[in-house]
Structure 1
Amino acid sequence: MQLPIVTIDAFTDTPFSGNPAAVCLLPGPLAEEGMQLIAAEMNLSETAFLQQTGPTEFKLKWFTPEKEVDLCGHATLASAFMLYIEEVVDENEEISFDTKSGVLKVKMVEGEIEMDFPLLATKEESHPYFADNFFGQKIVGSASLKGNWILELESFHQLEYVEPEFHLLAMHSDEGIIITSKGNENFDIYSRYFAPNLGINEDPVTGFAHCALIDYWHKKEGKTKLNAYQASKREGDMRLELIGERVKILGKAVKIFEGFLEV
Structure 2
Amino acid sequence: MELPIVTVDAFTDEPFGGNPAGICLLPGELSDEGMQLIAAELNLSETSFLEKIADQEYSLRWFTPEREVDLCGHATLASAFLLYTEELADTEKDLIFHTRSGKLIGSLEGEEVKLDFPLIPTESGTHPYFSNDFFGQKVISGARLARNWILELEHHRAVEYVQPDYNILSLHSEEGIIITSEGDGEYDFWSRYFAPNLGIREDPVTGFAHCALVDFWHKKTDRHSFNAYQASKRGGNMRLQKMGDRVFIFGKAVKMFEGMLNINI
TM-score by length of 1: 0.99
Query: Which amino acid in structure 2 is aligned with residue 157 of structure 1?
Result: R
Partner of 2:104 in structure 1? 104
Partner of 1:213 in structure 2? 213
Partner of 2:252 in structure 1? 252
Q: What do the CA deviations read for 1:2-49 (whole angstroms, capped 9, x no partner)? A: 100100000001000100000011000001110000000000000000
Instruction: Give me the whole-angstrom Cα distance separating, in 2, the residues matched to 1:130 and 1:113.
Output: 36
Query: Which amino acid in structure 1 is aligned with residue 156 of structure 2?
Result: F
Q: Which moved more, 1:86-95 or 1:199-208?
A: 86-95
Following superposition, the deviation at residue 54 of structure 1 comes to 0.5
Partner of 2:33 in structure 1? 33
Aligned residues: 263
The within-5 A match list for 1:24-173 is 24-173=24-173
Following superposition, the deviation at residue 220 of structure 1 comes to 1.1
Following superposition, the deviation at residue 131 of structure 1 comes to 0.1
Instruction: Give me the whole-angstrom Cα distance separating, in 1, the residues matched to 2:231 and 2:42.
Output: 24
CA RMSD of aligned residues (A): 0.4
Percentage of matched positions with identical amino acids: 62
Structure 2: tracts of 5 or more residues without a match: none
TM superposition outliers: structure 1 runs of 4+ over 4 Å:
none
Query: Which amino acid in structure 1 is aligned with residue 12 of structure 2?
Result: T
Following superposition, the deviation at residue 80 of structure 1 comes to 0.4
Partner of 1:238 in structure 2? 238
Instruction: Give me the whole-angstrom Cα distance separating, in 1, the residues matched to 2:110 and 2:39.
Output: 31
Instruction: Give me the whole-angstrom Cα distance separating, in 2, the residues matched to 1:204 and 1:158.
Output: 17
> Secondary structure of 1:215's match?
helix
> Secondary structure of 2:55's match?
coil
Q: What do the CA deviations read for 1:156-212 (whole angstroms, capped 9, x no partner)? A: 011111000000100000000000000021000000000000000000000000000
Query: Which amino acid in structure 2 is aligned with residue 168 of structure 1?
Result: I
TM-score by length of 2: 0.99
Structure 1: tracts of 5 or more residues without a match: none
Q: Does residue 8 of the first structure (1) align with residue 5 of the second (2)?
A: no
Query: Which amino acid in structure 2 is aligned with residue 174 of structure 1?
Result: E
Instruction: Give me the whole-angstrom Cα distance separating, in 1, the residues matched to 2:159 and 2:149.
Output: 15
